[in-house]
Amino acid sequence: MDNLDTQVLDAARRWAADGHRFALVTVARTWGSAPRPPGAWMAIRDDGRVQGSVSGGCIEDDLIDRMAAGEFAGPAMQVVRYGVTADEAHRFGLPCGGTLELVVEPAPEIALLDTMAGRIAAGQLVERRLDMTANRVSIAGGQCGAQLSWNGSLLVTQHGPAWRLLIIGAGQISRFLANMAQQLGYRVVVCDPREEYGTEWDVPGADLLTCMPDDAVLELALDPHSAVVALTHDPKLDDLVLLEALKSPAFYVGALGSKANTAKRRERLHQYFDLSQAELDRLHGPVGLPIGSRTPPEIAVSILAEMTAVKNAAMARESAAEAVADPLACRA
């Protein structure tokens, strides 16, 4: 679940507290080009207000009209499709060949949404199961890396901070990076054993560890949905985390520094420590995309842009591997 979807959950709970009726709509499957990926969702209130999105706008307008017309007034979940024909795709502004399959929940159980919000706020992953045959929704503990599952009658989605970011250093760049990363759905952990920096850390939602960086890597047990960014500019701290992070399955490992300092770091790590060339090649340094960034927020943007590009490439590889493992997975 990314930050936009968390906003949907918060709005739904707020509307329920105010006595409004609403429906939840989840993208279950797409064919061809689609504006929003499977798992994206939105909430439609009885007076036409919306939070979130499932397309570029035209489908939302149609769903609002159908909500006002009473099509989603009953208790049963429904499957709604858009873009089945070329005329319909053109009408709703879908790209050529684009098709969306949506699951509509006319009467979400508020207690489950409250429980879900509490678990996500505590940093937990949540699995949500929509059983259309039994017209029942249930939640359980989620699994990092688990993919959305939909067989036409059972929709299983994962929610919460599925991606993690470990930042070394509690300086100014880290403040911007931590805030921006949370907006992209990362659970952010900052590690800085230096008291003069740690005592001033006050970014909401970003936990602070005061242990040594290599211990933080071991404590977090990095997985393929983890990223590590070293920003202290202090080899005594940055090198420690790189020694462990480059051996881990983390999808992204980056370190702040000029080209000259990065070259010295690579040489140091290769000469004095047991890092292989393949492990050193995983290091992104200088960290971030070369966009001419100079200020702390610009540097944070460049880092997240590079992380996003690497993450999306990793997700594409995961999807391709799953399709090979299950040849029927990509069939309609």
Going from N- to C-terminal start, the domains of the chain cover 3-159, 163-313
Closest to 241 in 3D by CA, of 219, 217, 273, 222: 217
Which residues does residue 149 pair with via DSSP β-bridges, in sequence order?
A: 156
pLDDT at 322: 45
Distance CA 220, CA 240 (A): 15
Which segment, 276-285, 299-308, 317-326, is predicted with the most confidence on average?
A: 299-308
Question: Do 28 and 101 meet the contact criterion of CB atoms below 8 Å apart?
Answer: yes
Instruction: Calculate mean pLDDT across residues 173-182.
Output: 96
Query: Which of 29-33, 47-51, 202-206 is the least confident region?
Result: 29-33
Over residues 68-79, mean pLDDT: 92
Residue 146, pLDDT score = 77
Half-sphere exposure of 320 (CA within 13 A, CB side): 6
Average pLDDT, the chain: 87
Buried b (16+ CB within 10 A) or exposed e, 145-156: eeebebeeeebb
Question: What pLDDT score was predicted for residue 37?
Answer: 84
Q: What mean pLDDT comes out for the span 37-56?
A: 90
- pLDDT for position 183: 87
Query: pLDDT class for 93, splitting at 50, 70, 90?
Result: low
* CATH code of the domain occupying 163-313: 3.40.50.720
Query: Using 50, 70 and 90 to split pLDDT, how confident is the model at 315?
Result: low
Confidence grade of residue 292 (pLDDT, cut at 50, 70, 90):
very high
**DSSP string covering 184-198, please?**
TTEEEEEE---HHHH
What one-letter code names the amino acid at 123?
G
Dihedral pair phi/psi, residue 198, rounded to 5°? -65, -35
Q: What is the 3-state secondary structure (H, E, C) of 153-170?
A: CEEEEEECCCEEEEEECC
pLDDT of residue 328: 36
Helix, strand, or coil here: 124? coil
Strand 99-105, strand 22-31: pairing: antiparallel
Banded model confidence at residue 122, pLDDT cuts 50, 70, 90: confident
Task: Give the residue, 205 or 324, on which the prediction is more confident.
Answer: 205
pLDDT at residue number 325: 43
Q: How many other CB atoms sit within 10 Å of the CB of residue 296?
A: 16
**Residue 329 pLDDT greater than 50, yes or no:** no
In this predicted model, what pLDDT tens digit does every residue of 232-247 receive, in sequence order?
A: 989 889 998 999 999 9
Q: DSSP states of 31-74 as a string?
A: ESS-SS-TT-EEEEETTS-EEE-SSSSHHHHHHHHHHHTTTT-S
Write out the H or E segment, with its range, that includes residue 209.
Answer: strand 207-209
Q: Are 228 and 239 in contact (CB under 8 A)?
A: no
CA dist 190 and 202 (Å) reads 11
Residue range 187-229, pLDDT digits in tens: 899 999 999 998 889 999 899 999 999 999 999 989 888 999 9
Contacting residues for 121 by C-beta, under 8 A, at least 6 apart:
none
The yes-or-no verdict on residue 317 having pLDDT over 70 is no
Count the Cβ atoms, other than its own, within 10 Å of residue 183. Answer: 12
pLDDT of residue 312 exceeding 90, the answer is no
Supply the pLDDT for residue 326: 41
Half-sphere exposure of 255 (CA within 13 A, CB side): 30
- For residues 83 and 89, the answer to whether their CB atoms sit within 8 Å is yes
pLDDT for residue 331: 32
